[in-house]
């Protein structure tokens, strides 16, 4: 069979998600594994969201609200922004694809840091546009380098804040200088998937720029803080004119009924949010202390994950940890062959990770 595929699609490297725990256990013949590779909420999902899901399960024969009226109304109240500025998505990945499809054409460019979230490149290449990569400096986004990379063909700039996979952040002052040097017609996308975990007061908060006359898009998700990764619900906040354009091509039922119900309930679950932040921040303190005692270099983070320099082949460490039932992420594919990435787990999971790392590195 001969299939003619455009060259821009052939250039895309497929996104490779981590395997489910059940599949890994089956393949390796192990049990009771812990997964610290996908930056998920260690406490599970919001209890209020779970209750709302159970109450809504009887309505699955109805189509979702294609405009998300109740969801967007509650979200607008929570964010203190106009409902018309919000575009809901099947995860924030969906909004990235909508932005690329709306704003980019073949021959045009989008500037992005490297390494960062892989879906920026995939979305840009999928529409035949050109991704322009700017390497990180000391694991942080190089705003000066990104500004220099912007040219007359640039339509989009992607910033991940905190950056995945490094956990570093952009300061508000640095962003002000960056924004002042950009052409007015360049849309700046600030991906804040992990913004709720930030403790650095100088960190850029893109909400401060809403309604300021510049084309700033904020991306957020319910996958991390609220523990709803399996339901795939995210959103973008942007100028209402741009939101209107995205909604012209958005699939009418892109966020399913249960996802909308769960997200609305999770917004009200303040106790769960506080507990999550407490567990993550205390977990970071424990992990940093344990790694310091082991003499292992790690990199501070403003997120719920961080990088560790294992000073050897990260892929080998990943495989060895896997056989001990501890799933982490090798950073070899991101250009850091000696680094692994781990997200904070429960106290018990954090302790097990440290014990497994000691065993693997001590061999």
Distance from C-alpha of 160 to C-alpha of 172, rounded to nearest angstrom: 14
Beta strands in the chain (DSSP E): 34-35, 86-89, 109-114, 130-135, 154-160, 187-191, 216-221, 234-237, 297-298, 305-309, 326-327, 329-330, 339-343
Match domain 47-267 to its CATH number in 3.50.50.60, 2.60.120.560, 3.40.640.10, 3.40.50.720: 3.40.640.10
Provide the 10 A C-beta neighbour count for residue 117: 21
Convert the pLDDT of each residue in 82-139 to its tens digit.
999 999 999 999 999 999 999 999 999 999 999 999 999 999 999 999 999 999 999 9
Report yes or no: 236 and 219 within 8 Å, Cβ to Cβ. Answer: yes
**The two three-digit tokens of residue 316, written as one number:** 């080998």
Give every CB contact of residue 52 below 8 A, 6+ residues apart in sequence.
261, 262, 264, 265
Helix (H, G, I), strand (E, B), or coil: what is residue 251? coil
Helix (H) or strand (E) holding 313: none
293-331 pLDDT per residue, tens: 999 999 999 999 999 999 999 999 999 999 999 999 999
Mean pLDDT of the residues in the chain: 95
Neighbours of 61 (CB within 10 A): 5
Beta strands of 205-344 (E only): which ranges?
Answer: 216-221, 234-237, 297-298, 305-309, 326-327, 329-330, 339-343
Positive or negative, the CA dihedral 249, 156, 334, 282 is negative
Sequence ranges of the domains in the chain: 7-45+271-361, 47-267
- Contacts of 147 by beta carbon, 8 Å cutoff, 6+ apart: 178, 181, 182
Distance of CA 231 to the CA centre of its chain: 15
Task: Please state the φ and ψ torsions of residue 55, each to the nearest 5 degrees.
Answer: -75, -25
Structural contact between residues 126 and 148, judged by C-beta atoms closer than 8 angstroms = no
Task: Place 19 in a pLDDT band, splitting at 50, 70 and 90.
Answer: low
CATH ID of 7-45+271-361, from 3.40.50.720, 3.40.50.300, 3.90.1150.10, 3.40.1160.10: 3.90.1150.10
Q: What is the pTM of this model?
A: 0.94
């Amino acid at each position: 069979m001969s299939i003619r595929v455009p060259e821009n699609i052939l250039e895309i490297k497929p996104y490779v998600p981590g395997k489910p725990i059940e599949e890994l256990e089956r393949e390796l013949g192990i049990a009771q594994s812990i997964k610290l590779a996908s930056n998920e909420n260690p406490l599970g999902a919001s209890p209020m969201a779970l209750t709302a899901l159970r109450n809504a399960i009887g309505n699955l024969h109805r189509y979702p609200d294609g405009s998300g009226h109740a969801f967007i109304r509650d979200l607008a109240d929570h964010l203190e922004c106009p409902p018309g500025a919000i575009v809901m998505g099947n995860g924030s990945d969906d909004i990235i694809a909508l932005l690329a499809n709306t704003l980019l054409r073949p021959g045009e460019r989008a500037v992005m840091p490297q390494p960062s979230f892989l879906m920026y490149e995939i979305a840009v290449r999928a529409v035949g546009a050109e991704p322009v990569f700017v390497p990180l400096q000391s694991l942080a986004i190089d705003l000066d380098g990104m500004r220099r990379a912007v040219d007359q063909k640039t339509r989009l700039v992607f910033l991940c804040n905190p950056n995945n996979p490094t956990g570093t952040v952009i300061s508000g002052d640095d962003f002000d200088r960056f924004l002042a040097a950009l052409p007015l017609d360049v849309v700046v996308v600030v991906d804040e998937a992990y913004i709720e975990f930030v403790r650095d007061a100088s960190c850029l908060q893109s909400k401060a720029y809403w309604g300021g006359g510049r084309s700033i898009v904020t991306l957020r998700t319910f996958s991390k803080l609220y523990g709803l990764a399996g339901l795939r619900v995210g959103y973008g906040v942007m100028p209402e004119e741009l939101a209107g354009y995205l909604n012209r091509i958005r699939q009418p039922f892109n966020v399913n009924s249960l996802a909308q119900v769960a997200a609305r309930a999770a917004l009200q679950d303040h106790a769960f949010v506080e507990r999550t932040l407490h567990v993550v921040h205390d977990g970071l303190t424990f992990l940093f202390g344990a790694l310091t005692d082991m003499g292992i270099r790690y990199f501070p983070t403003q997120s719920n994950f961080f990088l560790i320099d294992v000073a050897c082949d990260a892929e080998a460490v990943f495989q060895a940890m896997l056989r001990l039932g501890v799933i982490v992420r090798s950073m070899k594919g991101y250009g850091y062959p000696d680094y692994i990435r781990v997200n904070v787990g429960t106290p018990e999971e954090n302790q097990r990770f440290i014990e497994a790392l000691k065993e693997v590195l001590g061999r």
